[in-house]
Amino acid sequence: MGHDADIVLLQEISGRAKSGGTTGVPAALGSLCHSLGFKIFFLPDTGDATDDAKARRDCSLRNGVAILWRAERLALQGDGFALARRTAGVRLLRLHDQTGLAAIVIHGLHGAPSLRVEQFRAAREYAAGCPVAIVGGDFNAVSCRQMRVSQRALDAADHALRSFELDSA
């Protein structure tokens, strides 16, 4: 965790989900958050990109995303949301000045430009109207290993992300 972070965004969370409880996060992460005074919203990957049940299960065990916030400084407003696949958002209230904010984590979908654009659009719509928005995560279009060797050209989703003008993608 950050030295004195109020918000932590995580992606590629691995491990079997803890049964029961409201967050479903892997038990070790949930225990760590609790001991450090953080609340958590966890979104497992649904694995919707394939019809292969084993691939969906394997994907959901390694590609979850989470938003953690320090409970003494921030309060959850409503519920956390799955904004799109591998994209989660929470609305928080900063307690010392009552400022509302949106915290959004994205784990980009490799090799699926239209789905990546949908992730970015969903994040933009969720952040609209919030005085403060924090967006973080992994925005790679392809896996890091593939990017290093492919000399891949930018696609429509890459251009949309660079300009954040998502209506043109």
Report the pLDDT averaged over residues 114-141: 89
What is the pTM for the complete model shown? 0.75
Check residue 97 and give its pLDDT. Answer: 96
pLDDT tens string 61-85: 567 889 999 999 999 999 999 999 8
> Using 50, 70 and 90 to split pLDDT, how confident is the model at 139?
confident
Query: What integer best gives the mean pLDDT of the chain?
Result: 77
Which span out of 133-137, 141-145, 148-152 was modeled with the highest average pLDDT? 133-137
> Using 50, 70 and 90 to split pLDDT, how confident is the model at 162?
low
Check residue 122 and give its pLDDT. Answer: 94
Does the structure show a pLDDT above 70 at 169? Answer: no
**Pick among 3.40.50.300, 3.30.160.270, 3.40.50.970, 3.60.10.10: CATH of 7-168:** 3.60.10.10
Secondary structure of 84-147 as H, E, C letters? ECCEEEEEEEECCCCEEEEEEEEECCCCCHHHHHHHHHHHHHHHCCCCEEEEEEECCCCCHHHH
Phi, then psi, of 61 in degrees rounded to 5: -85, -10
> Using 50, 70 and 90 to split pLDDT, how confident is the model at 113?
confident
Task: Tell me the Cα Rg of the chain.
Answer: 16
Q: Is the model more confident about 155 or about 1? A: 155
Does the structure show a pLDDT above 70 at 127? Answer: yes
Give, rounded to a whole angstrom, the gap between the first and last alpha carbons of the chain.
35
Report the pLDDT averaged over residues 86-97: 95
> Using 50, 70 and 90 to split pLDDT, how confident is the model at 60?
very low
Domain residue extents for the chain: 7-168
Check residue 69 and give its pLDDT. Answer: 96
